[in-house]
Structures are given as C-alpha cells and as structure tokens.
Amino acid sequence: RDLHSFPTRRSSDLEINEEREVDIENYSVNDLLNDLGLSSQTTVSKRNGELVVEDTIINNGDEIQLIQIIYGG
C-alpha cells in the first residue's frame, strides 16, 4: 500500500490549504483536478512552484498549487 501525502493550495480570491493522502500509485494532477471537480481548462497547476501539465505525476511530499483562471472584464 503506497500512500502519497502532499499539501494542496487553491488560489483565486480564496486560498484553501489542505493536506491530502491518496492510496493511488501514479496519481496525477489531472486525477486531483477531477477529485476536486475542477477543469484543467480553467485551472493552472504548479508542482513545487513550477508550472506543470495535467499528466504530471504527484510524488510524496510535492506541494501542488491550483490557480483558477477567472474570465471576464
């Protein structure tokens, strides 16, 4: 059994910090977005401060930041 633990932050006007443990090998940013009900088309993802694509695998101890893009004028 391989548990991955990593902090996640969601940013827009509201910041939510939480730590997650997942029991899934090869858990990706896309898996996290799906679990949170977020779209990769409206969310920018960072792993340990670097921009990443949805296929990026999250490793134990990685910090994930999800930034929702707000459209409008």
Sign, CA dihedral 32-65-40-53, equals negative
| Per-residue model confidence as pLDDT tens for the chain (73 residues) | 445 556 666 555 556 677 777 777 899 999 999 988 889 898 999 999 999 999 999 988 888 888 888 777 6
Q: Pairing state of beta strands 16-22 and 4-11? A: antiparallel
Q: Retrieve residue 11's tokens.
A: 């940013």
Task: Enter the pTM of the model.
Answer: 0.74
